[in-house]
Chain A
Amino acid sequence: MTAMRGKAWKFGDSISTDHIAPGRLFHLRSNLPELAKHVLEDARPEFASSMAPGDFVVGGGNFGLGSSREHAPTIIKIAGVSAVLAKSFARIFFRNCINVGLPAIICDTDKIDEGDELEVDLSRGKVINRTKKIELSFPPLPPVMTKILQEGGLANYIHKHGDFRLK
């Protein structure tokens, strides 16, 4: 996989799936491109209209807590975000990110500020903050998740392999 480059959009701690894909837009769930126009609206209303494809969502602790709605990482991906970085993730959201083919990266996001130019190299496990000229490392995913991510998500993975392969 080639390195991803873009600008950081900073969010605080405890960004919930209600911030990302609120229940009041429930009727747009079967119209994901439309729902994606509202991504993260209740955390930063200007985000969806101002971000550029390739940019990064950078959160604090417990990113993605709350509901199991896979629509949340899906619309982050559809909006063109290359990866979500956070100090920690809620369990279901993390798993959903990988399942929809959106890299979720656990690193020290205190070292990233709004607007910093970032480069992420998944295979080396590195985030390069080009603005601050520092490198952050992140832990590798369990092998099963790496495979799912490499195939572009769980549906593609199962389509290709027909089953789960742990090795």
Chain B
Amino acid sequence: MGKTLAEKIIGEHVGREVVAGEIVVTPVDVCLVQDGTGPLAINQLRKINLEKAANPQQTVLFIDHASPSPRKELANDHIALRQFARKTDCYVSEVGDGVCHQVINEYYTRPGDIVIGADSHTCTSGALGALGTGMGSTDVAIGIALGKTWLRVPESYRFVVYGRFQPGVYAKDLILHIIGMLGADGATYKSMEFCGETIENMEMSERLTMSNMAVEAGAKCGIIFSDKKTRAYLIAHGRGKSYRELRADEDATYERTYEVNASKILPTISFPHTVDNTRNIEHKDCQDVKIDQVYIGTCTNGRLEDLRIAAQILKGKQRHPGTRLIVVPASRSVYQQALEEGTLAILNGAGASIQSPGCGPCVGIHQGVLGDGEACLSTQNRNFKGRMGNPNAFIYLASPATAAATALKGKIADPREVIG
């Protein structure tokens, strides 16, 4: 019987054929925790006297959410992560190294892997043809110590995307559109599988954006086949040998199939306070929405390609005086390249505040917490009430192009009007 990507990957791990709905115990290849979830994971292991790592070379503790630390309590959490790493030989991704989901896919994830992470956006690894899924601290703690976890083999929804994006429209608009269509619980427990010519044509940067947001429809994972673009990405990060081709079988069984015409999609915005509350840019609600802060960055859209898109729009111009602009490269290598090629100089010249690689203001800890009544347009993946540190603020989600256009105009703006 034909297999979906989720069934294939899990089946390879457990050494027999599996079908959706089964519960299995499976080895895991890569484990990650971050500074918000890692300390609890470590405590749990200490409590049951199991402070060890089955695969320390493939276990990474990220200091990215509160990084550099804005408070002593968080600095102490960072110390705990470093101590655990010393004890177990796991790796610490330090202050300035970047967001977990960017770094893990630059340096660790291989096609066919099972990646578990104590962070909901671990599904980002799906872009490389891996099954990445987010879990809680204790689940990942046990995964780190024993090298395995239990999983229910998910049913799959297939998204066949065809057609070319209009200029000014990107993967972010597509995934926001899909989540708006499905609803925030439209794919709960499912594996979302993205395929079709539009996905085939996407570079890894855009595929990562697609997989990153699968959890915003409730999905367990968001997987994409691996191909020559995956290979090129791995080679670019010195990991060409990790490549293998992986595709779902032609006759795999999908619980649902959706066809999406990419050429019909317009720049799309999620309105406060849920990701599925989407409007396209031509909707009347997008008129005259004043924005106090624009944020370009995160595991969704803080990659080099994203910063280049923003720089192209902002080159030689100035942000609107009433709108501050925060830019956070997703990783050290993104930062380095953006620095060397001049992209950061353009953004700085346009009035951006450029900060250390990491999560930035995404989760409301530091580096851009919003004031009462303020509105932020962000390239992140989530706009829940209170997300950016203030329940009395408003968050809009959009692509880097829409974000850059908005920074210029001071209100939500259509990127198609400002791209050359």
Contact = CB atoms under 8 A, between A and B. Distances in A.
Interface of A: 14, 16, 18-19, 22-24, 26-31, 42, 61-62, 65-71, 74, 88, 90-92, 95-96, 99-100, 142, 144, 153-156, 158-159, 163-164, 166
Nearest to B22: A166
A23 B365 CA distance: 6
B364 A96 contact: no
Given A68-B118, A68-B119, A92-B134, A62 B369 contact: no
A66 B138 CA distance: 17
B283 to A, nearest CB: 21
A158 B150 CA distance: 12
A88 B134 CA distance: 18
Given A27-B71, A154-B139, A18 B23 contact: no
A164 B138 contact: no
Contacts of B50: 158-159
Given A24-B390, A144-B150, A166-B23, 5 more contacts: A26-B36, A88-B188, A91-B218, A96-B136, A158-B50
B37 interface: yes
Interface string B28-67: 0000000011011001100111100000000000000110
A66 B134 CA distance: 10
A154 B43 CA distance: 13
A92 B138 CA distance: 12
A22 B364 contact: yes
Contacts of A100: 136, 138
24 contacts: A18-B382, A18-B387, A22-B391, A24-B390, A26-B365, A27-B365, A29-B40, A30-B43, A62-B185, A62-B218, A66-B382, A67-B119, A68-B122, A68-B136, A69-B136, A70-B138, A71-B40, A90-B185, A95-B136, A154-B142, A159-B47, A164-B25, A164-B150, A166-B25
A9 to B, nearest CB: 18
A27 B152 CA distance: 33
Contacts of B117: 68
B184 interface: yes
B218 A155 contact: no
A65 B215 CA distance: 9
A42 to B, nearest CB: 4
Contact of B386 (A22, A31, A65, A91): A22
B76 interface: yes
Contacts of B246: none
Contacts of A92: 120, 134-136, 215
B154 to A, nearest CB: 9
Contacts of B24: 166
A29 B136 CA distance: 14
A65 B391 contact: no
B39 A159 contact: no
A96 B120 CA distance: 12
Contacts of B25: 164, 166
A140 to B, nearest CB: 14
Contacts of B220: 91
B24 to A, nearest CB: 8
Interface string B334-359: 00000000000000000000000000
Contact of A19 (B149, B185, B386): B386
Contacts of B37: 68-70
